Amino acid sequence: MRHTPVAALLVLVAALPAWGDESFDISKYEKKAFEYKGYLELKPEEQFLNQGATGYLLQFPNDNRTTADRWSTAAELSGVLRHQALSFNFTAHGSYLKDVNGSEGDARFFEAYGRWQADPRSSIDIGKRSLGWGKGYAWNPVAFLDRPKDPVDPELSREGFVMADAEWTRSFSGPLRTLALMPVVVPTTADLNPDFGTAGHINPAVKLYGLAFDTDVDLIYAAKDSRPSRFGADFSRNLGSNLEIHGEWAHTVDAPRALITPSNTLAMETLSYTSYLLGLRYLTERETTFIAEYYHNGAGYTESEMQRFFTLVHDAASTPALVDIATRAAAQGYNSPSAMRDYGYLRVSQNEPFDILYFTPAVTLFVNPHDHSYALIPEAIYTGVTNFEFRLRFQLNHGGAATEYGEKAVRSRIELRVRYFF
């Protein structure tokens, strides 16, 4: 009996996972003709509304509610079917939303394209693709051929446009390590890419990428067709083992912009403008990550232009004749995310605090420096359960009257997002 603890210890040691002797079966991971992956998502959400705010008047006209709950579910399936140098790639996305206004479902291909990869140096793609140009986390002024990113959820997959593109890449030794050229066309007809712009154009664009002196640089040009002529550049560089900087610059020539006139009509003005973004990512020794960005939206509305919109919407609440123009102004730019001129962004996340693996608390701040309104978004992400991701997020929109975040329909909201991956 005296030896029992020792024997128990030996049994325990023997029972410990024998990592040192383990190998794993790689046949399960070898390339197959068809591969797929995806996730299922459930997202309940409770919104606390800001009665009297511009956003509230637009979203809940003739209503008196103070809260609104919302349930959404989503499913995404991505896959690739291969035959020699050819492949067909797709991402299908379906969603169902139920809120105070009713329910709606949607299903579509975010991406569906064929690829011919002659060799690792060159490829041709035809079909619906999302390109994801730019270096910024929250905004991408040089993403000329992408749908706008949601700055609050920048990692969500987005629907692409139907296009044809090719990519040639060459590597070198010396300060210039990589050079890649990517021409793209985005044709528009009445049925093809109707939301890209006017029909009957091919919309050519080109991107030249280089890795030179340890810096990523893209030069991008998109010709005037369905959309105005645009050109820009971006860069990204690591300044150390824990510091990265990035930036984007874009110039648009003669773009139309909806503008509310002093006499409360909606005019289309033409302007050329420059947008840019500067950002950094810094990791401390304690594994706290800071991402900071400053974004100047050259086509954004000034404080006085936006105040005219807020006044119009409030006036429309008592003057039905103004409802149509207020609704159109909202749809044509005034109510879009990041509709104003300048923004600051800061995200602070702590990797695995208190030795809790796979747990990442974070807080994100959006600031409008002109009207001093802001959105504060604390969240916690846990990925410790195999194939599951849990995200609990709170959002507080704060600002005075006639400020961007002060006029949002939602004063605060809390949501839980659960994803199961397969």
* Residues in 255-274 at the binding interface with another protein, rule: CB under 8 A: none
Instruction: Report the amino acid identity of residue 276.
Output: Y
Binding mask 156-175 for another protein (x = CB under 8 A): xxx--------x-xxx----
**Of 147 and 372, which CB lies nearer to another protein in the complex structure?**
147
Return the DSSP state at 1: -
* Residues in 385-414 at the binding interface with another protein, rule: CB under 8 A: 386-387, 389
Identify the H or E element spanning 114.
strand 102-119
**Of 181 and 322, which CB lies nearer to another protein in the complex structure?**
181
Contact range with another protein by CB under 8 A, out of 51-59, 62-70, 308-316, 381-389: 381-389
Provide the minimum distance between the beta carbon of 364 and another protein in the complex, in angstroms, as a whole number.
16
Q: Does 73 bind another protein (CB under 8 A)?
A: no
**Of 334 and 345, which CB lies nearer to another protein in the complex structure?**
345
d(CA 398, CA 410): 10
Identify the H or E element spanning 11.
helix 4-15
d(CA 290, CA 282): 5
Provide the minimum distance between the beta carbon of 144 and another protein in the complex, in angstroms, as a whole number.
14
Dihedrals phi, psi of 38, to nearest 5 degrees: 180, -175
Provide the minimum distance between the beta carbon of 407 and another protein in the complex, in angstroms, as a whole number.
30
Provide the minimum distance between the beta carbon of 6 and another protein in the complex, in angstroms, as a whole number.
21
* Residues in 75-104 at the binding interface with another protein, rule: CB under 8 A: 78, 80, 82, 87
Q: Tell me if 136 sits within 8 A of 279, measured CB to CB.
A: yes
* Residues in 291-350 at the binding interface with another protein, rule: CB under 8 A: none
Return the DSSP state at 75: E
**Of 154 and 197, which CB lies nearer to another protein in the complex structure?**
154
Q: Tell me if 419 sits within 8 A of 38, measured CB to CB.
A: no
Rounded (10°) CA dihedral 130, 132, 137, 138? -50
**Of 113 and 309, which CB lies nearer to another protein in the complex structure?**
113
Contact range with another protein by CB under 8 A, out of 64-72, 176-184, 264-272, 294-302: 176-184
* Residues in 5-34 at the binding interface with another protein, rule: CB under 8 A: 17, 19-24, 26, 29-31
* Of 141, 148, 146, 143, residue with least CA distance to 130: 146
**Of 254 and 352, which CB lies nearer to another protein in the complex structure?**
352
* Residues in 212-251 at the binding interface with another protein, rule: CB under 8 A: 214, 216, 236-238, 240-244, 246
**From candidates 271, 283, 292, 392, binder to another protein by CB under 8 A:** 283
Provide the minimum distance between the beta carbon of 158 and another protein in the complex, in angstroms, as a whole number.
8
Provide the minimum distance between the beta carbon of 409 and another protein in the complex, in angstroms, as a whole number.
27
Q: Helices (DSSP H) in 94-241: which residue ranges?
A: none
**Of 82 and 257, which CB lies nearer to another protein in the complex structure?**
82
**Of 96 and 420, which CB lies nearer to another protein in the complex structure?**
420
* Of 93, 162, 157, residue with least CA distance to 127: 162
d(CA 166, CA 187): 15
Binding mask 109-148 for another protein (x = CB under 8 A): ------x-x-xxx-x------xxxxxx-x-----------
**Of 57 and 131, which CB lies nearer to another protein in the complex structure?**
131
Structure token digits, residue 284: 């401390």
> What is the β-pairing status of strands 373-382 and 388-398?
antiparallel
**From candidates 43, 281, 391, 413, binder to another protein by CB under 8 A:** 281
CA–CA distance from 257 to each of 263, 267, 277, 377 (Å)? 17, 8, 21, 30
> What is the β-pairing status of strands 243-260 and 288-296?
unpaired
Number of chain residues interacting with another protein (CB under 8 A): 76
Provide the minimum distance between the beta carbon of 21 and another protein in the complex, in angstroms, as a whole number.
6
Q: Helices (DSSP H) in 48-93: which residue ranges?
A: 54-59
The radius of gyration of the chain's CA atoms, rounded to the nearest angstrom, is: 25
Contact range with another protein by CB under 8 A, out of 65-73, 177-185, 196-204, 333-341: 177-185
Q: Tell me if 59 sits within 8 A of 33, measured CB to CB.
A: no
